[in-house]
Chains A and B, each alone.
Chain A
Amino acid sequence: KQEVTQIPAALSVPEGENLVLNCSFTDSAIYNLQWFRQDPGKGLTSLLLIQSSQREQTSGRLNASLDKSSGRSTLYIAASQPGDSATYLCAVPRGANNLFFGTGTRLTVIP
C-alpha cells in the first residue's frame, strides 16, 4: 500500500534562506511525481512534474529531485521569499486517473 509522507509538517525560515522540503513514498513503482503548492483558501497550483526516467526538474528558483530507489523526492527552493509561503504537497500516481497526495509541508518565509 502506497504511503506518502512529508516531514516536517510545518517550517519557518527567514527570507533569503535556501531550503529543502522532503517527500517520501513507500512504493517505488511510480512513473512520475508531482509537486504542488496550495495557498490558504485556494486550490492547488502545479509546480513541477518529474518523470520516473528523470532525476530532477527545475523551474526558476525551484528544483525537484526524484530518487525512486530510496523512495524520496526533494523540493529545493533557492533564496526564499515571503511570497513562497504556502503549503507544498507532493503526489504520486495511484492507479490510473488518481493521485495519492501527501499531507503537505506548510512553509512560512519570514521577512
Chain B
Amino acid sequence: NAGVTQTPKFRVLKTGQSMTLLCAQDMNHEYMYWYRQDPGMGLRLIHYSVGEGTTAKGEVPDGYNVSRLKKQNFLLGLESAAPSQTSVYFCASSHRDNYGYTFGSGTRLTVV
C-alpha cells in the first residue's frame, strides 16, 4: 500500500544515547516533514525538506538533525537523547507545501 512508513514504532533510549528514525514514502512526494506530538501541545514541526538534498529547520529543531539523501527517505537523528525528547514522532509527506499531507503511523520514543 502506498504511504509513509516509519521505523521503528517504539524505542526506549537512555539519556545520552543516539538513534536515527527512518521515514520512507513511495508517493514521489517532494516535501517531507518531521513532527513531534506531545500532550497538550499539539504537533510541532521539527525539520522539513522541500526536495532531495535539502533540509530546513522547523519550530523545534534543537537536539535533532535530519538528512534527505534520497527523495523517498527522510532521516531524523538524535545525537544525544534527553528526557525532554520523549514524545511521539510523526513523519509526513506532501506533493506541495501545505497540501495533501500523508502521515506515517508514528514512533513512540521514551528517553529515560
Q: What is A's interface to B at a CB cutoff of 8 Å? A: 4, 31-32, 34, 36, 41-46, 49, 89, 93-94, 96-104
Contacts and interface: CB of A to CB of B under 8 A. Distances in A.
A96 to B, nearest CB: 6
A32 B98 contact: yes
B38 to A, nearest CB: 10
Nearest to B6: A43
Contacts of A34: 101
A109 to B, nearest CB: 22
A97 B94 CA distance: 10
Contacts of B56: 97
Contacts of B58: 98
Contacts of A42: 105-106
A37 B19 CA distance: 29
Interface in B61-112: 90, 92, 97-106
30 contacts: A32-B98, A34-B101, A36-B101, A41-B105, A42-B105, A42-B106, A43-B92, A43-B103, A43-B105, A43-B106, A44-B43, A44-B103, A45-B103, A46-B102, A89-B43, A93-B98, A96-B98, A97-B31, A97-B33, A97-B48, A97-B50, A98-B45, A98-B48, A98-B58, A98-B59, A98-B98, A99-B101, A102-B42, A103-B40, A103-B41
Given A42-B106, A43-B90, A98-B58, A49 B97 contact: no
Contacts of A32: 98-99
Main secondary structure of the interface of A (DSSP, over half): strand
Interface residues of B, number: 25
Q: For B43, B50, B92, which residue has the most chain A Cβ atoms within 10 angstroms?
A: B43
A31 to B, nearest CB: 8
B27 to A, nearest CB: 13
Given A32-B98, A96-B97, A103-B40, A44 B90 contact: yes
The 5 lowest CB-CB distance pairs between A and B, nearest first, are A43-B103, A44-B103, A101-B42, A101-B43, A43-B105
